[in-house]
Chain A
Amino acid sequence: MPDVIATARKQRRTLLSEVEAKDLLAEAGIPVARAILAKGQKASVEAAESVGYPVVMKIVSPDIAHKSDVGGVTLGLKDAKSVRKAYKEMLARVAEAAPNAKIAGVAIQNMAPQGIEVIVGATTDPQFGPVMMFGLGGVFVEVLKDVAFRIVPLEARDASQMVREIKGLPILQGARGAQPADLPALEALIVQVSQFVAAHPDIAELDLNPVFSYPDGALAVDARIVLASA
């Protein structure tokens, strides 16, 4: 696998593409919904067949930060025909919304079944260095800021405390008759990300948002990695 960090450095980028970020995470054994970069309708169908239907298609461009704002995300593509159609339409929409953006292609990933949305992140504190964050996704993180932090490196005990420290814990434990989330899988993922961040001092910021938490396992569905300014 090419060294995505070295590639980004060479191209003077600090933002990794979703495909690059996920490759890096998967390489470290972190459960992510892998995305394949495809250019053209034929390549998109091949990618979809390799990850398995249904798939999600997202635009890949170093110039586009918010993909959905330019019509760059299409969900629930069930077959080759819909993939080809979606590719054509997406490129047309993006060309209109962001005519100057350089398009690397699209990212094709298997559409993961819905789980409880959580966020696992890392950032660099000016005083204490790399720091991890955990919280429930959506309104819990956006509005209520119901999150827990720990300083890297984390021990298993720290991850366990983080997951239990948030006020939204009952939602993970199976509120209103829902099946409880697999907390050990979340804890393991947090510790893996801590090790990942510790092993890559180039990484300044990382968001796995969302991570789908299931009754059995957890899966990072979207990933964003920002490198420290060189």
Chain B
Amino acid sequence: MPVDRARLHRALNPKTVVVVGDKGPNFQWITNCAEFTGNLYSVQLDEKEAAGIEAKGIKNFRSLMEIPGEVDLVICAVPRNVAPFIVADAVKKQVGGMAMFTSGFVETTEPIGIELQGKIVTMANEGGMPLVGPNCMGVYNRRLGVKFMAGQQKGEGGAISIVSQSGTHGIGMTMGAQRLGVPVTRTISIGNAAVLNEADYLEYLLDDPETPAIAMYLEGIRAGRRFFELLREGTKKKPVIIWRGGRTRAGARAVKSHTASLASDDAVWMALMRQCGAISTESLEDTIETIAALVHTPKSSKKNMALVAMTGGQSVAITDQFERAGFEVPELSDSSYQRLGEFFVTIGGSYRNPFDASSTIGRESDNLQKILEILADDPAIEGVAIELQTRDFEKSTERLDGMLDLMKQYRDKTGQPVVGLIPTGGGMGDQEEIGSKARVHVSNAGFPVYPSFRSGATALGRVRAYYEELEARTK
């Protein structure tokens, strides 16, 4: 049945939220929503729990029907046997929608679980009420401070929205994106997707002006045909990253022809991703790293990279990875070589592209400025990846900040992607603990930064390929 878009919008952008069935000692749902900007109420019949809720300054009611005014979002955390009663009240109350944390439904494969879910779905559909879940973490909205994890940030201006069939991966993607300096507009944990399915959420987010890009973790696809059609058009409007789990599972199908015997679930999925111009990722890290490349680089389909590494061996390794990911590492112009030759330390160094630059940059950070100025003037170069040294980082961030300033100047001047690389173990034997702190620092400065050449090249390569495909499809 078609989704009531206005009601879904209310549920995902609520002014009034009611938590039904929260429990001590933590009262996790109420606690998570401590920063919520709207009205937060509770429904709890258990008097002991109700007292604990009131003690937290949240008004408690005995039923949804008693709450004055409109309710936009109900967070349902009651046991499964009680859930149908809450749904009935919510339908009667004409709430915007419901996020159902309650589990124990079809995922158990028990007859009682299947029957209860069927009941809930029928009631929600007949009442025209959007229902997120069940068996999910619900909805996060950054601007309004509706959260399902205390660590989810509150603030303006998200750069991506996340949909996840798994609650764990929804949290992992959100927290991971935040760690890489990416604000998340909203996260929707869709669980069993019994009433609203992945196509419904995709459609909403494609039209959502607060959502500049979309990342999804999916396993099964319920409305495959609609999902395909939405995705095919949608990626022309905004980038969509999809990490699909369970891809190797063999599909059960009756096979009578050659074609059918070869059309595995995975083969068809990869064809769909390519045909729709979506960005396909393969793991949580891959997804987060691709999000960072997407959000922290200017749109570019260009291939020619300048690669600045800190040793000879690293300059070979970085080149291998970027070429493998579809980039090219061109020679510079004669005038660039002439200018570089004036100051570059060539004993234990090289500036052919890739650069082996530790002797040059290590002594004088002014030299990085000179290198970047020359690269900015060279028409052969369309993007830069720099291995960042962290050896003084623990004492002071000054040196790294100086490099980040230069990278920012380069990016502002050229409009090209600039990527930082702080490899685990490091070319110069830096310690991982310092490396991870430095990566957080670089992320917060708004640059994509990676713990290996391979992951950086892969992430940037996926994003580049998206823009190349987009240009070909929209020209």
Contact = CB atoms under 8 A, between A and B. Distances in A.
A157 B227 CA distance: 20
A121 B259 contact: yes
A150 B262 contact: no
A157 B271 contact: no
Contacts of B263: 123, 125, 131, 133, 149
Given A129-B225, A207-B257, A226-B256, A157 B272 contact: no
Interface residues of A, number: 31
A127 B258 contact: no
A27 to B, nearest CB: 21
Interface centre among B225, B267, B271, B274 (most CB of A within 10 A): B271
Interface in B221-243: 221, 224-225, 227-228
A205 B260 contact: yes
Contact of B259 (A15, A123, A161): A123
Interface string A12-25: 00010000000000
A209 B262 CA distance: 14
Q: Is the interface of B mostly helix, strand, loop or mixed?
A: helix
Interface in B431-445: none
Interface string B87-111: 0000000000000000000000000
A161 B274 CA distance: 10
Interface string A211-230: 00000000000001010000
Nearest to A229: B254
B56 interface: no
A157 B271 CA distance: 13
Given A128-B224, A129-B225, A150-B275, A205 B257 contact: yes
A121 B257 contact: yes
A157 B228 contact: no
Nearest to B257: A205
B268 interface: yes
13 contacts: A119-B259, A122-B259, A123-B259, A128-B268, A129-B228, A141-B262, A151-B268, A151-B275, A161-B274, A205-B259, A205-B260, A206-B257, A226-B256
- Top 8 closest A-B pairs, CB basis? A121-B259, A127-B224, A149-B271, A205-B257, A123-B260, A128-B224, A123-B259, A133-B259
Interface of B: 220-221, 224-225, 227-228, 251, 253, 256-260, 262-263, 265, 267-268, 270-272, 274-275, 472-473
